[in-house]
Amino acid sequence: MNAYTIVKPVITEKSLTLANEKNIYTFEVSRGANKHQIKEAVEQLFPVAVVNVRTVTNQPSIKRTGKRRMQVTGGKVKKALVTLKSGDEINLFDISESIRE
């Protein structure tokens, strides 16, 4: 396992809903990582059992900016949707209580 396989967790409204309802957690991962490496990294970082890993690579966004309307491109981002065994959970942030209130 590479120490930089998992870059950061993705915290959005949709990812929090998936985590609460379907036990699927979203992480931004390095572009060279495959599903087996992602599974090993999650299992080593958190004491959970991974059932399934799905990956998606978003294409870079192109924006026009400045006086000359130059094009600026963002970087490619690879995300991993990790399904955990029922009963396991990752407590990244304890937001579930504040959402319910």
> d(Cα 35, Cα 13) in Å, to the nearest integer?
24
Pick out the chain residues at pLDDT < 70: 1, 93-101
- Residue 73: inside a domain: yes
Q: What CATH number does residue 16 fall under?
A: 3.30.70.330
Q: How many domains does one find in the chain? A: 1
pLDDT of residue 95: 57
pLDDT of residue 4: 84
pLDDT of residue 22: 94
- Residue 23: inside a domain: yes
**What is the domain range of residue 35?**
6-87
User: Of all helices (H) and strands (E), which one includes residue 16?
Assistant: helix 13-22
pLDDT of residue 26: 96
CA dihedral 5, 6, 7, 9 (to 10 degrees): 170
Helix (H, G, I), strand (E, B) or coil at 63: strand
- Residue 100: inside a domain: no
Helix (H, G, I), strand (E, B) or coil at 73: strand
- Residue 101: inside a domain: no
pLDDT of residue 91: 86
- Residue 92: inside a domain: no
pLDDT of residue 76: 87
Copy the structure tokens of residue 87: 């009963």
- Residue 36: inside a domain: yes
CA dihedral 86, 92, 96, 97 (to 10 degrees): 120
